[in-house]
Structure 1
C-alpha cells in the first residue's frame, strides 16, 4: 500500500468547494430529512487515472433516495507519480474509500438510521455500500483482487459492489479523474 500522508480532507461538488467532512455530513442529513420515508443508499467509491507525471484519485460520496434524487460530493487526491502497478492502484483506491468510510463513525451512522427508523414500517430504508472499481469479467485484469477488496469493504460495515453495480467508482468518480 502507498504510504502517503493525506492532508487534504476537502470535499467538493458542482455547487460548493472546500467542504469539510462535517459540512458533507450535514448535507447528507439535510437531504435525508427532506423525505424520512425514503429508501436511502449511502455509497462510497474511488477511481483513479494515471497521467504522464501523476495519478489522480477521486473518492465519491453519494447519498441516494432511490427513484427520487441524489446528493453527491467528491474528494480529490493527487499522487506525484504514475501508479502503474495494478494491485497498488486498486489497493490504494480501496484505502481511500476506507478512509472516508472511517469518517462515518457509529454515532454518525446512528444519526442517519434515526431519520428513517420511525418510517421503516412504511417502507423507509437505509443501506451503506462500498463501490469498488473492479470487475469479474473473464478478460478483466482486476478480477483476481475481488476477494481481497470485497473483504476490506465488508470489514468497514458496508455492502461491497463491483462492476457493473459499482457506479459511484466506475462512473461518478471516474468522470472527475480525467
Structure 2
C-alpha cells in the first residue's frame, strides 16, 4: 500500500468511532539472518478497548548487521521516516476527527515505539537516552520496553 492508502485507512478507522481513545503508534524491529537483515516497521492505530488497524513495511538490508548500535539506529531511522510522513497537516486532520468529541472523553496521541530497554541487564540500555531524544525531537511520545509493543511484539513477529 502507498502511504496515502495507509493514511486513508487510519482516517476510516477513526471515523468509525470518533469519540474513541486513539493511539497512533509506529515502531521498528529487526532480525539478523544468515545473509541479510530484515527490518519491519509497524504502523498501528488503536482505539483503546475497541480494536486496532495495523500494517507493516518491510526493508531488507543484504548483509548481516551484527553491530547492535547500527541496527538500533537504523530501526529508529525507519520509524522516523514513517513518523515524518505524518506531517502537521495530516496530524491535524486526525485531531479534527476527535476534536468535536473531546468533551465525551475522546483522545488522540502519537507514539514512537523503540525496541530498547533501560534495564541494567539489557544490552540496549546504553542507547536509551540517544534514541528517546531522537523521538522526542520529532514531537512524538517515545515508548521503550516493556511499553514499546509495536516494535517488540507486533513488528518482531514479521522479522523471522
Under a length normalisation based on structure 1, what TM-score does the superposition of the two structures give?
0.89
Q: Give runs of aligned pairs for residues 52-91 of structure 1, distance below 5 A.
A: 52-91=34-73
Residue 83 of structure 1 deviates from its aligned partner by 0.5
Residue 138 of structure 1 deviates from its aligned partner by 1.1
After superposition, the CA RMSD in angstroms is: 0.4
1:170 paired residue number: 152
Deviations, residues 115-152 of structure 1 (Å, cap 9, x unaligned): 00000011000000000000011110100000000001
2:122 paired residue number: 140
Residue 81 of structure 1 deviates from its aligned partner by 0.1
2:25 paired residue number: 43
Structure 1 ranges of 4+ moved more than 3 A = none
1:10 paired residue number: none
Under a length normalisation based on structure 2, what TM-score does the superposition of the two structures give?
0.99
- Pick from 64, 89, 93 the counterpart of residue 75 of structure 2: 93
Q: Give runs of aligned pairs for residues 110-125 of structure 1, distance below 5 A.
A: 110-125=92-107
Higher relative contact order (Cα pairs below 8 Å, separated by 6+ residues): 2
1:150 paired residue number: 132
**SS of aligned partner of 2:124:** helix
2:10 maps to 1:25: no
